[in-house]
Structure 1
Amino acid sequence: MNEDTLRLLLQGIKQRDVSVEEGIERLKVLPFEDLGFAKVDYHRNIRQGFSEVIYCAGKTTEQIVAIAEKLAERGGGNILGTRADSEVYQAVRERIPDAEYNALAHLIMIKRGKQEDRGNILVLSAGTSDLPVAEEAALTAEMMGNHVERVYDTGVAGIHRLLSQTDKLSQARVIVVVAGMEGALASVVGGLVDKPVIAVPTSVGYGASFGGLAALLAMLNSCASGVSVVNIDNGFGAGYQAGLINRLGEN
């Protein structure tokens, strides 16, 4: 239940559109609702500006559907389910018909209320193999109400492809750089711009990349100032962080 919902509820009680008993029952689950297997946080949108995100991996389909339904009913704002497969999406869509799915990013998206398009976040990927993580970042930021531009396949093996995008680099408020292999793209971008760079190492690469560890360590050891790093394949975390930074520019 978000702030607007609470205001309407209290107004309804005052005008007797909602009985006192019904109002009390709704207020009982104002902070969160205990479903036994999960405590659904309806306050998240008020505290942090975005609804609780459903991490689908490791949950049963029935659990995911139940959480999504509760958030859609009372949570307020857009709803995001990460690391979801198509079978889970179909189950959610049966109960929430306007749910959308991006198969590349494995995201379930349920749009609620006004869709904002603030600021400018740029998402770069080093290669096409990094697109699932890059799209997870881009779509997460968009669901948080941010304007997102994408420039993909700009790795350092053909650095002229990156240098041809200087206008977009200069216009962005925050940049997300997604790269596997040796992860060098984040340092290169960090040395070109005067804005925050969020580096996302991916598990893309041959044996000595160690499932993204090589890229992670390279990004953590970047000599470029202004580069921060999230965990391996954590496009969601990067998109969320970029959205928070981008929002500061609107204040």
Structure 2
Amino acid sequence: MSPKELLEKYKNGEISLTDALEQFPDRGIEEMGFATIDTDRLTRTGLPEVIYASGKTVEQVSQIAERMLQKGIDVLATRATSEMFAAVKKLIPEAQYNEMAKTITYKKTEEQLTDGYIVVVAAGTSDMPVAEEAVETAQFLGNRVEKVYDVGVAGIHRFFNRLEVIRNARVIIVVAGMEGALASVVGGLVNKPVIGVPTSIGYGANFQGLSALLSMLNSCASGVSVVNIDNGYGAACQASLINKLS
């Protein structure tokens, strides 16, 4: 019996949690000594296992990627260096690297993209690394994505020039540093979920993104939620779950 079938039986009250866990073929665990891969994460949560490469060695990232491929898991690594990509590419020649986003991606089969799309709005060009991480993640998760970059409040007319594509999105990710005001502007003009991503871009009083984070958390626009500083990946995961609800 597959993990998915066991979970359904548990949800329907046909089997206890203890019995369900005992019948899991491998309980969704792939032990590697230095890492334990969650092979059943996609089935359980709708989001796959992903490699957070920061703090890991080149060898650890490449070995995890290889094992994920062997287990039939598509590969996404975030905060990855070019050296990590070079090592992964030796094992997975079709792997792709976005140097700005610092992401490594490989999908064995391309799934059909969602009908609705996610739009990633970046206040400034300096915010693009975080925005690109969100774009790469959202696309990896099977979403159509539109980009609207360099439309911050310092030249707000640039934002209104792209308002239609923003309003027609199913979910909006707003990436902004400095004072982070763009999330509130967007939240006051649309009837869709807005996910704010504060970035660490800004001068000294920005406090490495803390000022943008607090601005977004204190937004007077209803419907704005906020992820952590520079967390484009987390914003894309949340946006993907919302986008796929319908």
Question: Same fold judged by TM-score > 0.5?
Answer: yes
Is 1:92–1:99's contact at 8 Å kept on the other side of the alignment? yes
2:135 corresponds to: 138
Letter in structure 2 aligned against 1:199: G
Letter in structure 1 aligned against 2:101: A
> In 1, Cα distance between the equivalents of 2:95 and 2:197?
27
1:158 corresponds to: 155
> In 2, Cα distance between the equivalents of 1:247 and 1:241?
10
Is 1:177–1:185's contact at 8 Å kept on the other side of the alignment? yes
- SS of 2:77's partner is strand
Is 2:47–2:237's contact at 8 Å kept on the other side of the alignment? no
1:87 corresponds to: 83
1:171 corresponds to: 168
Is 2:46–2:241's contact at 8 Å kept on the other side of the alignment? no
> In 2, Cα distance between the equivalents of 1:200 and 1:148?
16
> In 2, Cα distance between the equivalents of 1:128 and 1:48?
33
The counterpart of 1:73, out of the listed 33, 49, 70, is 70
RMSD: 1.5
The answer to whether structure 1 residue 107 and structure 2 residue 130 are counterparts is no
2:242 corresponds to: 245
- Residue 69 of structure 1, CA deviation: 0.8
1:9 corresponds to: none
Is 1:200–1:238's contact at 8 Å kept on the other side of the alignment? yes
Is 1:51–1:75's contact at 8 Å kept on the other side of the alignment? no
The answer to whether structure 1 residue 96 and structure 2 residue 92 are counterparts is yes
2:118 corresponds to: 121
1:12 corresponds to: none
What is the CA deviation profile of residues 208-248 of structure 1, one whole-angstrom value per residue up to 9, with x for unaligned ones?
A: 00000000000000000000000000010011111111011
What is the CA deviation profile of residues 122-149 of structure 1, one whole-angstrom value per residue up to 9, with x for unaligned ones?
A: 0000000000000000110000000000
Q: What percentage of residue pairs aligned between the two structures are identical?
A: 58
Aligned length: 225
> In 2, Cα distance between the equivalents of 1:157 and 1:114?
39
Q: Where in structure 2 are the equivalents of 1:51-62 lying within 5 Å?
A: 51-62=48-59
> In 1, Cα distance between the equivalents of 2:188 and 2:240?
22
The answer to whether structure 1 residue 198 and structure 2 residue 195 are counterparts is yes
Q: Structure 1 stretches of 5 or more lacking a match?
A: 5-26
What is the CA deviation profile of residues 33-55 of structure 1, one whole-angstrom value per residue up to 9, with x for unaligned ones?
A: 11111111110121123320000
User: Using a 3 Å threshold, how does the CA distance of structure 1 residues 103 and 243 change in structure 2: closer, same or farther?
Assistant: same
The counterpart of 1:208, out of the listed 185, 205, 210, is 205
Is 1:99–1:108's contact at 8 Å kept on the other side of the alignment? yes
> In 1, Cα distance between the equivalents of 2:212 and 2:167?
25
Is 1:43–1:75's contact at 8 Å kept on the other side of the alignment? no
Q: Structure 2 stretches of 5 or more lacking a match?
A: 5-23
What is the CA deviation profile of residues 72-95 of structure 1, one whole-angstrom value per residue up to 9, with x for unaligned ones?
A: 11143x321000000000001111
Is 1:202–1:232's contact at 8 Å kept on the other side of the alignment? yes
Is 2:176–2:197's contact at 8 Å kept on the other side of the alignment? yes
1:234 corresponds to: 231
- SS of 2:109's partner is coil
1:64 corresponds to: 61
What is the CA deviation profile of residues 96-139 of structure 1, one whole-angstrom value per residue up to 9, with x for unaligned ones?
A: 11111000000000112233310210000000000000000011
User: Using a 3 Å threshold, how does the CA distance of structure 1 residues 105 and 150 change in structure 2: closer, same or farther?
Assistant: same
